[in-house]
Amino acid sequence: MKTGIDRISFYSSRYYLDLKTLAEARGTDPAKYYTGIGQEKMAIPPPDEDIVTMAASAALPIIEAEGRDNIELLALGTESGIDQSKAAGLFVHGLLGLPARCRVVEMKEACYGGTAGLQMALAMVQRNPGSKALVIGADIARYDLGSPGEATQGCGAVAMLITANPRIMTVEPEAGIFSDDIMDFWRPNYRSQALVDGKYSTRVYLNALADTWGQYTTITGRGYGDIDRFCYHLPFTRIAEKAQERLAKSAGIKPDDETLEQVLRRSLVYNRITGNSYAASLYVGLNSLLDNDDGDLGGKRVGMYSYGSGCVAEYFSGIIEPGYREQLFTGRHRDMLDDRTELTFRQYEDMFTLNFPTDGGEHTFAQYRTGPFRLAGVEQHKRIYKRAE
Ligand code: CAA
């Protein structure tokens, strides 16, 4: 029986900082960001947006189109957790009005959390083909102001409905898997910005790719030429080009610009202008590919590389279903991205430094532009979410 992605929907914040503005403020050549790391804009969440509002906003179009019946799992992958105990997905469950007969859990392993949720969902649907799962990746990428990581910030969420006989992508069962106890990127509980050994992190990302790709090709008997399109975890888009060159090199191929354009770059369109969204980012890449590839991808195989620092990596693949285009929310995504507000450097720093209150008192948050849901305030250490007006 086929299992996989039946619907997919992407959401990102309504505000962004152009990396030219950041370059000017930091005295850096903008080409370092635009070309060197391959990023143009980073999405910045306003104070009344968090992973819950982004996750619910990503999932709402799917619920409106497909209803709530038989959704027996909501798995939310994130490394921007809002509570040490309660799963953030429970707030999303409430905002979306999902049935009580639904397992709700939070998946954490850095940027791998979304893939962990996907694998759990596929296993559940295989066992009980009448059930459906909502898998969401949602994150806010934050590094210290002025640090090398600053230009690779961003935010976003992707929601996917996982079903039997999916209408967008059947996920194939084989996978290369790699774990290692390392410190390339981490965020201790007392910090709201991540710590990272940047150069080391990019090295282990590429080494784990070589390992998982090697396993994948051995297990499946497939090679580089059997994959039609490539999607990667995207901390910044230039790393995907390096990853692609690595895989091609292992097959004795040096891809030219035209080939990279065809097999890779449509998956980078959204990330270039929204930035890293950690657990969501591989699936932002997949959604970007589906929305922006001019050709008909029906029947094509997509290679998927998931990487979470710390680290866990996985290489797997899927086959795009004929007629997939009718299931996409392409117009909605484009409208959302075209209708964003550009921030000045001062506004960006102000938003960045507004810390979430921790005094247990009553606080109401000013209304910014958000999607359908917003974080209205906090009372007695409890976050209050509302429908945006
Ligand atoms: N014009 C064009 N290119 C330029 C340039 C210019 N004027 N100036 C520099 N460049 C190029 C450099 O040559 C370099 O390219 P190569 O890597 O191909 O050599 C690129 O721009 C970046 O320059 P630096 O290496 O000097 O940049 P940096 O050290 O300041 O920071 C970084 C780069 C390490 C990626 C940093 O942004 C960072 O720490 N980011 C966060 C960590 C990260 O994203 N790691 C990725 C792997 S871990 C992961 O995937 C999990 C996750 O999501 C975090």
At 128-138, the pLDDT tens digits run 999 999 999 99
% residues pLDDT > 90 (the chain): 98
Q: In which band, very low, low, confident or very high, does the pLDDT at 38 lie, cut at 50, 70 and 90?
A: very high
- Please give the Cα distance from 317 to 386 (Å, whole number): 38
- Please give the Cα distance from 367 to 164 (Å, whole number): 40
Which of the residues are catalytic? 79, 111, 233
Question: Among 250, 178, 249, 240, which residue's Cα sits nearest to residue 211?
Answer: 178
List Cα–Cα distances, 385 to 15, 102, 359, in angstroms.
20, 21, 19
Sheet holding 363-364, edge to edge: 363-364, 373-379, 382-387
- Please give the Cα distance from 32 to 13 (Å, whole number): 24
The pLDDT score that the predictor gives to residue 233 is 98
Asked whether 241 and 267 are in contact (CB, 8 A), the reply is no
The pLDDT score that the predictor gives to residue 355 is 84
Asked whether 38 and 270 are in contact (CB, 8 A), the reply is no
The pLDDT score that the predictor gives to residue 88 is 98
* Mean pLDDT, rounded, for 83-94: 98
- Please give the Cα distance from 112 to 388 (Å, whole number): 30
Which residue reads 């285009």 in tokens? Answer: 325
3 state SS of 315: strand
384 CA distance to ligand 1 middle (Å): 38
pLDDT tens-digit profile of 273-319? 999 999 999 999 999 999 999 999 999 999 999 999 999 999 999 99
3 state SS of 316: strand
Question: Among 243, 247, 234, which residue's Cα sits nearest to residue 278?
Answer: 234
Q: Whose CA is nearest to atom 14 of ligand 1?
A: 36
- Please give the Cα distance from 150 to 59 (Å, whole number): 28
pLDDT tens-digit profile of 101-116? 999 999 999 999 999 9
Q: In which band, very low, low, confident or very high, does the pLDDT at 95 lie, cut at 50, 70 and 90?
A: very high
Domains and CATH numbers, the chain: 3-387 (3.40.47.10)
List Cα–Cα distances, 76 to 122, 318, 369, 372, in angstroms.
14, 21, 24, 18
CA dihedral sign, ordered 292, 293, 297, 302? negative
The atom of ligand 1 lying closest to the CA of 309 is 51
Asked whether 148 and 99 are in contact (CB, 8 A), the reply is no
The pLDDT score that the predictor gives to residue 102 is 98
- ∠ CA 191-196-201, nearest 5°, is 150
Q: How many residues does the chain have?
A: 389
* CA atoms within 13 A of residue 33's CA, in its CB half-sphere: 26
Token pair for 384: 């209050």
The pTM of this model reads 0.98
Asked whether 77 and 135 are in contact (CB, 8 A), the reply is yes
* CA atoms within 13 A of residue 313's CA, in its CB half-sphere: 27
Which residue reads 């610009």 in tokens? Answer: 257
% residues pLDDT > 70 (the chain): 100
37 CA distance to ligand 1 middle (Å): 5
The pLDDT score that the predictor gives to residue 206 is 98
Find how far residue 91's CA is from the centre of its chain.
19
The pLDDT score that the predictor gives to residue 389 is 82
148 CA distance to ligand 1 middle (Å): 8
Asked whether 343 and 351 are in contact (CB, 8 A), the reply is yes
The pLDDT score that the predictor gives to residue 383 is 97
Average pLDDT taken over every residue of the chain: 97
3 state SS of 300: coil
176 CA distance to ligand 1 middle (Å): 26
Neighbours of 362 (CB within 10 A): 11
Asked whether 336 and 213 are in contact (CB, 8 A), the reply is no
The pLDDT score that the predictor gives to residue 191 is 95
Find how far residue 368's CA is from the centre of its chain.
23
Residues whose beta carbon lies within 6 Å of some atom of ligand 1: 29, 31-32, 35-37, 111, 148-149, 151-152, 184-185, 196, 198-199, 201-202, 205, 233, 235-236, 239, 276, 278, 307, 309
